[in-house]
Structure 1
């Protein structure tokens, strides 16, 4: 990916938001309360949220049959919504890619299982994919994270993110961000964006160190990690077994060993992932990664002009 992707035009007060339930079912009063709290945040920014009846829609563990969940995305294209906001993760979004799915050139917000849709949109050459809070997690985000998302959507500058430098040097390139497990299952499909020269930021949840190592080895065997300009590591929540035995590797040992010999900057402990403080990241935007200072910056100087409305 040698060029940045043109992003949609910044949002304005009065723009419409379409809810998307592409993954697991939204069940229970607590989930509904978290959804309403997230909607309230968007409405507080002056956006008009269409309250699609998604709560309780269910097919097994999914938020409806595939055609119903695909319909959420298609409805946004028909109605001209400027933002598609995913309500939760879990599993199921990748199933929607089995049939042709032309994702609209709109802002698309989510993370975790939504990685499938974010990367598919980018692989189609469409900007607007944001790796960031789901509607059921947005209200629990700290003020700085909510404000970062608002700035991204409304075209205002983004602050730098601070992590921990592991491998020195600096690199610049188009930004990719993903859940490691979901992105690994896109390898070898048409929905994998161009990795060449990209800054890739990864996160995950609930994966043992050996499974993290297995996935990163898969990437190495396919040459994926070797194509990157830099690697950022977000939060790997509940992924460390705290080994007490000598025959176990810790999460940090795995991450360091699988990335340190690539000859590129590596920054860990970035504030993104399955934690409160999940910094919004615009996929396809130009990013700069400093492996010495541990900073990740979105460079406004090299962004392509936004798409016209």
Structure 2
């Protein structure tokens, strides 16, 4: 009988996080498609123009543009592009073009020996959570949960990312001030589920993807971590189910704090009058943890989201709704 998967606290997990080199103007960065293929191949032109507007030089992977069903090429080929980017000394960072689904499928084909030996920022979100968490567990260097290369990259996305990845800054993330025509701001509000401050290593990403890695050797140790999660198009009962699974698996009981970001289009259809709201689901699952928790942070499937460095120490203040980065993400 084949051996089962490694335990949650994988034996290969590094003991200390390492910092990839910071980005500099003129650096070559790799472009990969580890999940879905782009909706429109013409969008690749805009992706490369976006990278050049950052002052960087795009280098698409060999299999960018491939299609295999709903995926951007076979699992082996998508993994080969990732491996090649980390083996290529010319490439200084790696940007995912888009998410969707498929990153978890490439994990068995990744060359973690080469990836670990060549720390480079990996940038992306959504399904990229599988790679962020796998790198945290198996490679031990910082990655960035932030906009994909095909995202809009407005000023509120670009400037914080530049500060983080180019300048080695340690920003404090707070939601934008909305210009509502109201006496009291309603949009972009955060809500403390349990007030207080907490410090720990930032770990997380997309809730659905994170849950799908339970029981695999690609999940890092969450003991003392600040868990951050977001999702999209998941009705309340499914968010409830996933948070329950994290609790039953012992993940929620290990963390020092939780930040729940945006859950876009997460209101179920046809609920009875007695259905729980998303806020009620979060209250039921997260308040009993006894650690600082807040919801509504500006990251997830939205424009101009935070760029959160996975693996660095941070401090959250649930009452005011902030995430303060305590150490540079890059060297």
> Please, what TM-score do these two structures have when normalized by structure 1?
0.90
How far does residue 99 in structure 1 lie from its aligned partner after superposition? 3.4
Q: Which residue of 2 aligns with 1:151?
A: 163
How far does residue 202 in structure 1 lie from its aligned partner after superposition? 0.3
- Corresponding residue to 1:93 among 80, 100, 103: 103
Give the distance between the partners of 1:169 and 1:243, measured in 2 at CA.
Answer: 36
Judged with a 3 Å threshold, the aligned counterparts in structure 2 of structure 1 residues 246 and 235 are, in CA distance, closer, same or farther, namely: same
Give the distance between the partners of 2:266 and 2:111, measured in 1 at CA.
Answer: 33
Q: Which residue of 2 aligns with 1:236?
A: 263
When the two chains are superposed, the root-mean-square deviation of aligned CA atoms in Å is 2.1
CA offsets 1:6-63 (integer angstroms, 9 cap, x no match): 211211112110111110112425xx33x43333232223211114465641001110
Contact 2:164 2:329 in 1 (8 A): no
Q: Which residue of 2 aligns with 1:21?
A: 33
Judged with a 3 Å threshold, the aligned counterparts in structure 2 of structure 1 residues 259 and 184 are, in CA distance, closer, same or farther, namely: same
- Structure 1 window deviating more from structure 2 (248-257 vs 202-211): it is 248-257
Find out whether 1:185 has 2:212 as its counterpart: yes
Contact 2:142 2:329 in 1 (8 A): no
CA offsets 1:151-187 (integer angstroms, 9 cap, x no match): 1111342432224322111110111131000000111
How far does residue 196 in structure 1 lie from its aligned partner after superposition? 0.3
| 1:99-110 matched pairs, under 5 angstroms | 99-102=109-112, 103=115, 104-110=118-124
Give the distance between the partners of 2:281 and 2:163, measured in 1 at CA.
Answer: 35
Contact 1:2 1:197 in 2 (8 A): no
The 3-state SS of whatever aligns with 2:288 is coil
Contact 1:20 1:72 in 2 (8 A): yes
Give the distance between the partners of 2:128 and 2:317, measured in 1 at CA.
Answer: 27
- Structure 1 window deviating more from structure 2 (150-159 vs 228-237): it is 150-159
Contact 2:142 2:312 in 1 (8 A): no
How far does residue 121 in structure 1 lie from its aligned partner after superposition? 0.6
Q: Which residue of 2 aligns with 1:61?
A: 70
The 3-state SS of whatever aligns with 1:200 is strand
CA offsets 1:224-272 (integer angstroms, 9 cap, x no match): 1010000001000001137763331111111121101100000111010
- Corresponding residue to 2:192 among 162, 165, 171: 165
| 1:236-275 matched pairs, under 5 angstroms | 236-241=263-268, 245-275=272-302
Judged with a 3 Å threshold, the aligned counterparts in structure 2 of structure 1 residues 56 and 76 are, in CA distance, closer, same or farther, namely: closer
> Please, what TM-score do these two structures have when normalized by structure 2?
0.84
Judged with a 3 Å threshold, the aligned counterparts in structure 2 of structure 1 residues 151 and 115 are, in CA distance, closer, same or farther, namely: same
Find out whether 1:75 has 2:84 as its counterpart: yes
Judged with a 3 Å threshold, the aligned counterparts in structure 2 of structure 1 residues 270 and 5 are, in CA distance, closer, same or farther, namely: same
Find out whether 1:222 has 2:240 as its counterpart: no
Q: Which residue of 1 aligns with 2:3?
A: none
Unpaired runs of 5+ in structure 1? none
Unpaired runs of 5+ in structure 2? 1-12, 175-189
- Corresponding residue to 2:129 among 98, 101, 115: 115
Contact 2:79 2:107 in 1 (8 A): no
Judged with a 3 Å threshold, the aligned counterparts in structure 2 of structure 1 residues 206 and 114 are, in CA distance, closer, same or farther, namely: same
